[in-house]
Amino acid sequence: MIRYLVLYWTFFKQRIKVLMEYRVNFLIGASSTLFVQAASILSIWVVMRQVPTLNGWAMAEIWLVYGLLMLSKSINHMFADNLWTLGWDYVRTGNFDRLLVRPIDPLFHLLADRFCHDGIGHFVTGLILVVVSLVQLNVVVTPLKVIYMIITVVSGGAIFIALNLITGVSGFWVMDSTPVIRVVFEMHEFAKFPLSIYPKAISAVLTFLIPYGLASFYPASYVLGRDVPPTLALATPVVAALLVFISYRVWLFGLRHYSSTGS
């Protein structure tokens, strides 16, 4: 474990050096997502100005749901964005072979090969939304709640990464796994809002099948003291661990069936 932590730090430093060679580009990339998210937040604000509550949820409460999801998404975006490129940038070009001949785990190498600084904007956006919502709602922030939210965010990030890995493994067969990943990944857009506003079928999908709701709606409900099943409110780390295990087994299955392009 220590060896891999040291290796990751080495990869990370080299990536930052590369990014900082073009500092303006680094700043644009890191801040671009801020503007994208600002447009999305502004559209919600405009709607909520006309509709004070959404199925009993005020705007500040929705910010908390949105913010927690963005924090989890930022972990995936910063540390596992390379999963999107597995098919077309590694398998199709033959670059994946170089990961197999090095004395480290190929999945670790794939993840460590690229730190995506665009995710910094997601993290800043999420943090601002969470802090602003807690202040506006006068939520008593105890050390226990802080620890709970940190665990939830980290676990939510693991859920994002695991789902992207499960779908990304399709790149071993279809060469371009991006469309497959996108089908599942874009479902997180529904989890930016309280699941209670959707039909039960959609709510069930986002809870049990593609559990992005465990990274946003249920933790936010728990922090706000809303009526939510304790099992779901506390299930995020357990589900994250289960999905990580499943995704790694799927990865190993794909790895066993990988065949080089021969180029």
Band (pLDDT 50/70/90 cuts) for residue 76 is very high
Contact between residue 81 and residue 129 where contact means Cβ atoms under 8 Å apart:
no
Mean pLDDT calculated for residue range 2-31: 79
Shortest CA distance to 87 belongs to which of 192, 216, 184, 177? 177
Band (pLDDT 50/70/90 cuts) for residue 262 is low
Mean pLDDT calculated for residue range 162-190: 93
C-alpha to C-alpha distance for 159 and 67, rounded to whole angstroms: 16
User: Residue 46, exposed/middle/buried by CB under 10 A (0-12, 13-18, 19+)?
Assistant: exposed
Say if residue 249's pLDDT is above 90: yes
Shortest CA distance to 209 belongs to which of 223, 221, 195? 195
Residue-level pLDDT at 260: 76
Residue-level pLDDT at 119: 87
Task: Give pTM, 2 decimals.
Answer: 0.92
Residue-level pLDDT at 50: 80
Place of tokens 């409900």: 221
Band (pLDDT 50/70/90 cuts) for residue 177 is confident
C-alpha to C-alpha distance for 29 and 81, rounded to whole angstroms: 14
Place of tokens 């874009």: 186
3-state secondary structure 7-28: HHHHHHHHHHHHHHCCHHHHHH
Which residue(s) pair with 58 in the sheet? 53
Percent of the chain topping pLDDT 90: 60
- What are the start-end ranges of the H helices in 51-118? 59-79, 96-100, 106-112
Shortest CA distance to 160 belongs to which of 247, 249, 230? 247
Which of 8-22, 63-77, 79-93, 102-116 has the lowest average pLDDT? 8-22
**pLDDT tens figures, 198-237:** 999 999 999 999 999 999 999 999 999 998 888 999 999 9
Contact between residue 141 and residue 58 where contact means Cβ atoms under 8 Å apart:
no
Q: 130-137, long-range: CB within 8 Å, 24+ apart, which pairs?
A: 130/63, 130/64, 130/67, 130/68, 130/71, 132/60, 132/63, 133/60, 133/61, 133/63, 133/64, 133/67, 134/64, 134/223, 136/60, 136/63, 137/58, 137/60, 137/61, 137/64, 137/224
Say if residue 71's pLDDT is above 60: yes
If you average pLDDT over every residue of the chain, what do you get? 90
Shortest CA distance to 203 belongs to which of 162, 232, 237? 232
Say if residue 263's pLDDT is above 60: no
